[in-house]
Amino acid sequence: MASEFDLIARHFKWPAPAGVLGVGDDCALLLPVASDRRLAVTTDLLIEGRHFLPDADPEALGHKALAVNVSDLAAMGATPIGCVLGLSVPRADHAWLERFARGFRTLADAVGCPLVGGDTTRSLQGTVISVTAMGEVPAGAALTRAAARPGDDIWITGTLGAAHMALEVLQGRERATPDVLAALRPFLDRPEPPVAFGAHLIGIAHAAIDISDGLQQDLGHVLRASGCGAEIDYASLPVHPALEGFAAASVQRAVLNGGDVYQLCFTASAAMRQRITELAGRHGVRVSRVGTITQEGGLRVTACPVPLSPDDPAGFDHFG
Ligand code: ADP
Ligand code: MG
Residue 131 above 90 pLDDT? yes
Using a pLDDT cut of 90, give the percent of the chain over it: 93
Q: Which element (helix H / strand E) includes 217? A: helix 215-226
The answer on 275 and 236 residing in a single domain is: yes
pLDDT mean over 90-109 = 97
Q: Bin 24: left if φ > 0, else alpha if -120 < ψ < 50, else beta.
A: left
Same domain, 118 and 192: no
> Residue 315: what pLDDT?
38
Cα 3 from Cα 212, distance rounded (Å): 36
Instruction: Please report whether residue 124 resides in a domain.
Output: yes
Residue 286 domain-assigned (yes or no): yes
Q: Same domain, yes or no, for 118 and 167?
A: no
Mean pLDDT of 65-94: 97
Q: 19: domain range?
A: 4-138
Of 138, 165, 191, which residue constitutes the final position of a domain? 138
- Our answer on whether the CB atom of 24 is closer than 6 Å to any ligand 1 atom is yes
**Pair 263, 123 in one domain:** no
Q: Is residue 309 part of a domain?
A: no
Measured in angstroms, how far is the CA atom of residue 68 from the centroid of ligand 2? 24
Which ligand is nearest to the Cα of residue 23, counting in written order?
1
DSSP conformation letters of 14-74:
-PPPTT-B-BTBSS-BPPPPPTTEEEEEEEEEEEBTTTB-TT--HHHHHHHHHHHHHHHHH
Which residues are bridge partners to 84 per DSSP?
A: 117, 132
Ligand 2 center–CA 107 separation, angstroms: 25
Q: In terms of domains, do 287 and 161 share one?
A: yes
Answer yes or no: do 254 and 288 share one domain. Answer: yes
Residue 202 located in a structural domain:
yes
In the predicted model, is pLDDT for residue 318 greater than 80? no
| Residue 27 in contact with ligand 1 by CB distance below 6 A | no
Q: What are φ and ψ of residue 223, in 5° steps?
A: -65, -45
Distance, CA of 48 to CA of 56 (rounded, Å): 9
Out of 108, 138, 168, a domain closes at 138
Tell whether 180 and 232 lie within a shared domain: yes
| Mean pLDDT confidence for 18-45 | 97
Cβ distance 270 to 230 under 8 Å?
A: no
120 within ligand 1 shell (Cβ under 6 A): yes
List, in order, residues 6 or more apart from 271 with CB less than 8 Å away: none
Q: 269 Cβ partners below 8 Å, 6+ apart?
A: 149, 151, 152, 153, 206
From the CA of 66, the nearest ligand is: 1
Q: How far is the centre of ligand 1, averaged over its atoms, from the C-alpha of 28 (Å)?
A: 9
Distance CA 155, CA 264 (A): 8
Confirm whether 310 is domain-assigned. no
Secondary structure class of 141 (helix, strand, coil)? coil
Q: Please report the pLDDT score of residue 316 as a whole number.
A: 39
Q: Note if the pTM is more than 0.75.
A: yes
- Taking residues 14-29, what's their average pLDDT? 96
Looking at residue 210, which CATH number applies to its domain? 3.90.650.10
The answer to whether the annotation marks 126 as part of a ligand binding site is: no
Which ligand neighbours the alpha carbon of 5 most closely?
A: 1
On whether 44 is known to bind a ligand per the annotation, the reply is yes
Q: Is 316 annotated as a binding residue?
A: yes
Q: Which amino acid is at 232?
A: I
Domain boundary residue, one of 138, 169, 189: 138
Q: What is the pLDDT of residues 229-279, one digit of tens each?
A: 999 999 999 999 999 999 999 999 999 999 999 999 999 999 999 999 999
Residues 165, 296 within the same domain: yes
Maximum CA extent, the chain: 61
**What is the structure's pLDDT at 313?**
46
Asked whether residue 42 carries a pLDDT value surpassing 90, the answer given is: yes
Mean pLDDT score across all residues of the chain? 95
Give the atom of ligand 1 at the shortest distance from the alpha carbon of 27.
Answer: 14
- DSSP, collapsed to helix, strand or coil, labels residue 9 as helix
Question: Stretch 103-127: mean pLDDT, rounded?
Answer: 97
Same-domain pairing of 121 and 228: no
Residue 35 and residue 96 in one domain? yes
Is residue 145 part of an annotated ligand binding site? yes
| 41: CATH | 3.30.1330.10
Going from the Cα of 27 to the center of ligand 2, the distance in angstroms, rounded, reads 10
Separation of CA 141 and ligand 1 centre (Å): 34
Residue 232 lies in a domain: yes
**Which residues are found with C-beta within 5 Å of the ion, ligand 2?**
119
In a domain, 143, yes or no: no
Phi-psi category of 249—alpha, beta or left, where left has phi over 0 and alpha has psi -120 to 50? alpha
Domain membership of residue 320 (yes or no) is: no
Residue 138 has pLDDT above 60, yes or no: yes
Would strands 153-157 and 115-122 be described as parallel, antiparallel, or unpaired?
unpaired
Nearest to 169 by CA among 50, 238, 258: 258
Specify whether 15 is located in the same domain as 48: yes
* Confidence label for 310 from pLDDT (cuts 50, 70 and 90): low
Q: Please indicate, yes or no, whether residues 175 and 235 belong to a single structural domain of this protein.
A: yes
pLDDT value of residue 314: 47
Q: Which atom of ligand 1 is nearest to the CA of 115?
A: 25
Helix (H, G, I), strand (E, B) or coil at 1: coil
* Total tally of structural domains belonging to the chain: 2
